[in-house]
Amino acid sequence: MEWSKRTEQGALVIAVVWAVSTLVLRVVSNGIVEMGDGIQHYMQARYCWAHPELLLDLWGKPLFMLLASPFAQLGHPGMVVFNAMLSVCTCGLALGILRRAGYTAQLLFPLLVLLAPLYLLMVLGGMTEILFGTLTVLTVALLRTQRYAMAAVVASLTPFSRPEYVAFLPFVALWLVRIKHWRALPWCIAGWVIYGAIMWRVEGDPLWFWTHGPYRSGPSVYGSGDLLQFVRGAPQVFGWPLLLLFLVALVIWYPVQRRDADERPMHRLLLVVAALPVLSVLVLHSYIWWRGIHASAGLLRVAVTVVPLAALFALHTVARAVVVRPALLHGRLAKRRVLLGTALVLGSIGAWDAVRVPIRQSGDQQALDGAGDRLKEILPTGGVVHSTHPYAAFRAGLDPFDNDHYRSIWGLNDQRPADHFKPGELIFWDAQLGPNEAHLPLDTLLNDPHFAVCGVWEPREGHPAFGDQRYELFLFERRDVVKEVRVDTLIDGNRVAEGLVLRMDPALCPSERTALWCFGEDEFPWVIEHMPLTPGAPVIYDELILEGRATRSGSAPRDLELVFKQTVDGHHVRYDQSAVTDDGWPKTSWRVPPADRSLEQSIYIWNVGRAPFELSDLRLLRRRWIQRDAV
């Protein structure tokens, strides 16, 4: 027992050191891991004392709001403090559960869980998945010590921390049925009764959480995706050491539990309330993403909820296998030092690959910071801003739930958005949430003379958002303006506008077509340099449109890329890359806001595969957007 206590203390020291390290990492980093839901959860927890209705918001998760709110008053790093403390509590609970599995399993648990790549990111992002994992391990610990009623009560609270309760709470009830502990079974609805009574008092509807949940059964605004996405993404969620151990445990569980009579009840308990929930979460999320329902966005991070359960099942099963029948594993895992060292090295590699230390601002965050700073600068005292992204309020230092000054845009299914905003109000639009949750297409605002463009921001590294729309940010003001678009042809076939430099090295084509070039194996066969800069007011931005067709005999040009690049003194400040499709590129465009600095701009074709191809029907247009106040 003395060695066991020292082992548990050592494992807890590992967890505490890890927790302190995450706090230091958050403090020294200027990057934020999760700028969408992570910031939204923080803002809800931060302001729920001023707006108590947030404590009952299912999107924010009521139990998470209640427990995280004191930490949120410390700022966003306070959310990392909260999640780090939960992680240490999870490890402490797991050590008791794994006591009969041996000290190797106890030491491995914090290494496997806390170094799981996405688990670490969710701690740093202040996300809700960590609390759910703690509640599930607490439930298992209570079931192990036969405190069934208390276990049922804790499990009944999981619906108010994460929607993954549908893959956990039923298995807790199933276990209580299996052991015929009927008196504990009604406690599985204790959380529903408590929150139902509150909502009956507040909203007059005890079933409010059922009837007004954010995860409706209809089609998801994010579309659908690959059925096997969560299978392929499992290494990112669990890390290879934990994932392989979990798969081994599934294979050997049956013979191990038959031979291990002393721990057979524990084996069966962990199968029902740990292994089956892990598999169920992966299957359910795979299915709803494949079907495109229940607001699924196909995000791998939701599977972090069951990382601690996966570690419990895997470590207990494999460790007991070594005890009762080492031949099952051919004696390989009996070398504890090798196992611990391997888990530490592989886990650290996976965590390092997921989290670059320190965390630097992404291109998206830099764009959001710039837009948020501009919003704060021009927002008049007592003004009102409408936003599609929670980061706008965070960066501008606004209370996002003060509807007198800030309003989120959701579900604006209307072709006349000007009717929803008053003159002088600001609208912060982003390409990820604006067209989806807000149902507010960018073109609707751009082509409406009642909305003045106050700023355009493009990320450092261009990429598509949901719906394949290029990620970008706009700030509008509800103000009448006159918008004019002037179109200039910069390149048309072999005609190049004055000032541009077109470098290419085409070979002769076996064709009489005049607008056709043939290229060989040069990596950068076609380059436009000295692109003109966007001058600024009254020009709000330039839109560069490149049209053309690239073909290669015998196969499609899948290894050709179009690149728009901006540099300052040779350093990239913007790099936007688009793959050439099977049919060439019918239309590729880049928005170019005015620049305060002297930039070098270029467009070029990157022949990644260095294979010959033909280029035809080439045109580069510049649409210059000009805006003036209406008289």
Residue type, 10: G
Report whether pLDDT(2) > 50: no
Residue 336: is its pLDDT beyond 90? no
Give the whole-number percent of the chain exceeding pLDDT 90.
61
Q: In one letter, which amino acid is 409?
A: I
Among 11-15, 187-191, 410-414, whose mean pLDDT is lowest?
410-414
Label residue 495 by pLDDT band (50, 70, 90): confident
Instruction: Over range 541-546, report the average pLDDT.
Output: 94
pLDDT of residue 331: 47
Where is 344: in which H helix or E strand? helix 336-354
Which whole number is the average pLDDT over 538-560?
80
pLDDT in tens, 269-306: 999 999 999 999 999 999 999 998 887 888 999 999 99
Strands 426-430 and 501-504: unpaired
Sorted by sequence, the CB contacts under 8 Å of residue 158 that are 6+ apart come out as 132, 135, 136, 139, 164, 165, 168, 169, 191
> Within 10 Å of residue 299's Cβ, how many Cβ atoms?
17
What mean pLDDT, rounded, does the chain reach?
Answer: 88
- What confidence score (pLDDT) does residue 1 get? 37
Of 358 and 553, the one with more pLDDT: 358
Confidence of residue 352 (pLDDT cuts 50, 70, 90): low
Q: What is the mean pLDDT of residues 439-467?
A: 90
- What is the mean pLDDT of the segment spanning 572-590? 79
Q: Outline which parts of the chain fall under CATH 2.60.120.
A: 485-629
pLDDT the model gives residue 394 = 95
Helix (H) or strand (E) holding 142: helix 129-144
Separation of alpha carbons 569 and 559, rounded Å: 29
Nearest CA among 275, 307, 247, 331 for reference residue 112: 307
pLDDT value of residue 550: 82
- pLDDT at position 251: 93
Mean pLDDT in residue range 428-444 = 90
SS (H, E, C) 300-339: HHHHHHHHHHHHHHHHHHHHHHHHHCHHHHCCHHHCHHHH
pLDDT at 73: 96
- Rounded CA-CA distance 144/254 in Å is 20
- pLDDT at position 393 is 94
Query: For residue 450, which of 474, 428, 473, 417 has the smallest C-alpha distance?
Result: 417
The average pLDDT across 162-183 equals 96
Lowest-pLDDT choice from 169-183, 408-422, 427-441:
408-422
Q: Which DSSP letter does residue 53 get?
A: G
Residue 258 one-letter amino acid? R
pLDDT band at 416 (very low <50, low <70, confident <90, very high): confident
Read off φ and ψ for residue 486, nearest 5 degrees: -105, 130
Torsion of CA 266, 268, 271, 273, to 10 degrees: -70
The 10s digit of each residue's pLDDT in 212-221 is 777 766 677 7
The pLDDT of residue 231 = 92
SS3 428: strand
Strands (E), 73-140: none
Q: What is the mean pLDDT of residues 232-238?
A: 93
pLDDT above 70: percentage of residues in the chain: 90
Mean pLDDT throughout 151-177?
Answer: 96
* Prediction pTM value: 0.91
Higher pLDDT, 161 or 412: 161
- Average the pLDDT over each of 276-285, 456-465, 553-562 and give the range with the smallest value: 553-562
Low-confidence winner among 235-249, 458-472, 553-567 (lowest mean pLDDT): 553-567
Length of the chain: 631
Residue that wins the pLDDT comparison between 126 and 413: 126
User: Which pLDDT does position 404 carry in this prediction?
Assistant: 92
Q: Say if residue 162's pLDDT is above 50.
A: yes
- Which amino acid type is present at position 490? L
Higher confidence at residue 357 or residue 417?
A: 417
Q: Which CATH class is domain 485-629?
A: mainly beta
What average pLDDT does the segment 408-432 reach?
87
| Confidence at 365, pLDDT banded by 50, 70, 90 | very high
pLDDT, residue 334, reads: 47
